[in-house]
Structure 1
Amino acid sequence: MNRINKHLEIAKLESELKELKKVLKCIDDLVFKVDKSGTVLDCWTNRAQDLFYDIDYIMNRPIEEMFDKEFRDKIIEVITKTIAQNRSFEISYDSPRPGPGGQSFLMRTKNLDPQEGIVLLMVTNTTLETQLLDRVRENQEKFHQAFHNSSVGMALLDEHMVVIEHNSELLSMLRPSFEGEIRGIGFLDFLLPPQREQVEDQISGIEQGRPGRIREEVILNSDTGTWCSLSISPVLGRGAKVLYYVCHLKDLSPQKANEEKLLAQRSLLESINFDLQVKIRQLETFSQVLSHDLRSPLANNHMLAEQIKDLSGSPEANVLADMLLANNRRFSRRFEQLTGFLESLGQDDYQFKENDLETILQEALGVFGDKKGYAEIRLISDLLQRSVNFPARYLISLFRYAVKKFLVGRSSPVDIRVTSTLQNGSVMIGVHCAGSAKVGESGAQFSRPVDQVRQQELEDMAVDLYIARGQVRSYGGNVRFLDEGPERNSMVINIPLG
Structure 2
Amino acid sequence: METLQRLDEIIQLKQKIKDFDSLVESIDDIIFEVSRDGVILNCWTSDPKLLFYDKEHFINKTIHEIFPSELATSFSYILEKSFKKKKGYVIKYKSPFYENPEQLYRLQTKIIGNRDDKLTAVVTNITREQKLLSKIQLKEEKFNRAFQNSSIGMLLLDRSLNVIEYNLALQKILGYSDVEEMLARKVPEFIHESHSDNVQAAFDDVKNGIRENAIIEAQCIANENKILWCLINISSVRDTSGKVIYFICQIQDLSLFKSNENKLNLQNELLEKINYELKVKVNQLEAFNQILAHNLRTPISNIEMIINQLSIETEPSQKEQLLNILKTSNKKFLNLFDKLIETVEGQNSSKSLLETSYISVLIDKLKVHFKNEIETNILDIQSEISVNTISFPIEYILCIYKYLINESIGTYKNGFPIHIVIKSWIKESTFYISIENNCNSQHCFEIASQILRDSEKIDDKVLMELHMAKQQIHYFGGSYKIYRKENMGNIVIISLPVNN
Q: Which residue of 1 aligns with 2:43?
A: 43
- CA positional deviation for 1:61: 2.5
Identity of aligned residues (%): 33
Q: Which residue of 1 aligns with 2:136?
A: 136
Q: Which residue of 2 aligns with 1:124?
A: 124
SS in 2 for 1:220: strand
1:228 lines up with 2:237 in the alignment: no
Summarize the alignment of residues 41-440 of structure 1 with structure 2, pairs less than 5 Å apart: 41-100=41-100, 102-112=102-112, 117-175=117-175, 180-204=180-204, 210-211=210-211, 213-222=213-222, 223-236=225-238, 241-270=243-272, 273=275
CA gap 1:277/1:211 in 2 versus in 1, 3 angstroms? closer
CA gap 1:112/1:178 in 2 versus in 1, 3 angstroms? closer
Which letter does structure 2 place at the counterpart of 1:225? I
Q: Which residue of 2 aligns with 1:21?
A: 21
- CA positional deviation for 1:104: 1.4
CA gap 1:53/1:113 in 2 versus in 1, 3 angstroms? farther
**Matches of 2:45 and 2:74, distance apart in 1:** 22
Which letter does structure 1 place at the counterpart of 2:83? I
CA gap 1:99/1:227 in 2 versus in 1, 3 angstroms? farther
**Matches of 1:282 and 1:17, distance apart in 2:** 115
CA gap 1:227/1:124 in 2 versus in 1, 3 angstroms? same
Cα offsets for 1:252-302 (capped at 9, x unmatched): 2232233233224334544665687799999999xxxxxxxxxxxxxxxxx
CA gap 1:67/1:207 in 2 versus in 1, 3 angstroms? closer
**Matches of 2:119 and 2:25, distance apart in 1:** 20
Q: Which runs of 5+ in 1 are unaligned?
A: 286-498
**Matches of 2:56 and 2:241, distance apart in 1:** 54
8 Å CA contact retained: 2:171, 2:177: no
**Matches of 1:113 and 1:212, distance apart in 2:** 54
CA gap 1:101/1:224 in 2 versus in 1, 3 angstroms? farther
Which letter does structure 1 place at the counterpart of 2:192? L
- CA positional deviation for 1:200: 2.5
Which letter does structure 2 place at the counterpart of 1:256? K
CA gap 1:248/1:15 in 2 versus in 1, 3 angstroms? same
**Matches of 2:39 and 2:60, distance apart in 1:** 6
Report which stretch shifted further, 218-227 or 240-249: 240-249
8 Å CA contact retained: 1:157, 1:165: yes
Q: Which residue of 2 aligns with 1:447?
A: none
CA gap 1:209/1:281 in 2 versus in 1, 3 angstroms? closer
- CA positional deviation for 1:196: 0.7
**Matches of 1:179 and 1:64, distance apart in 2:** 54
Cα offsets for 1:208-259 (capped at 9, x unmatched): 6644533211111134422111122244457764433222211222322332
CA gap 1:115/1:170 in 2 versus in 1, 3 angstroms? closer
- CA positional deviation for 1:4: 0.9
- CA positional deviation for 1:20: 0.8
**Matches of 2:113 and 2:279, distance apart in 1:** 109
8 Å CA contact retained: 1:40, 1:61: yes
**Matches of 1:239 and 1:129, distance apart in 2:** 21
**Matches of 1:224 and 1:76, distance apart in 2:** 65
**Matches of 2:23 and 2:251, distance apart in 1:** 58
CA gap 1:247/1:104 in 2 versus in 1, 3 angstroms? same
SS in 1 for 2:75: helix
**Matches of 1:6 and 1:32, distance apart in 2:** 31
- CA positional deviation for 1:134: 1.5
- CA positional deviation for 1:187: 0.4
| Count of paired positions | 288
**Matches of 1:117 and 1:195, distance apart in 2:** 72
8 Å CA contact retained: 1:29, 1:125: yes
**Matches of 1:173 and 1:11, distance apart in 2:** 80
Cα offsets for 1:316-375 (capped at 9, x unmatched): xxxxxxxxxxxxxxxxxxxxxxxxxxxxxxxxxxxxxxxxxxxxxxxxxxxxxxxxxxxx
RMSD, matched Cα:
3.6
**Matches of 1:13 and 1:37, distance apart in 2:** 28
SS in 2 for 1:96: coil
**Matches of 2:172 and 2:179, distance apart in 1:** 9
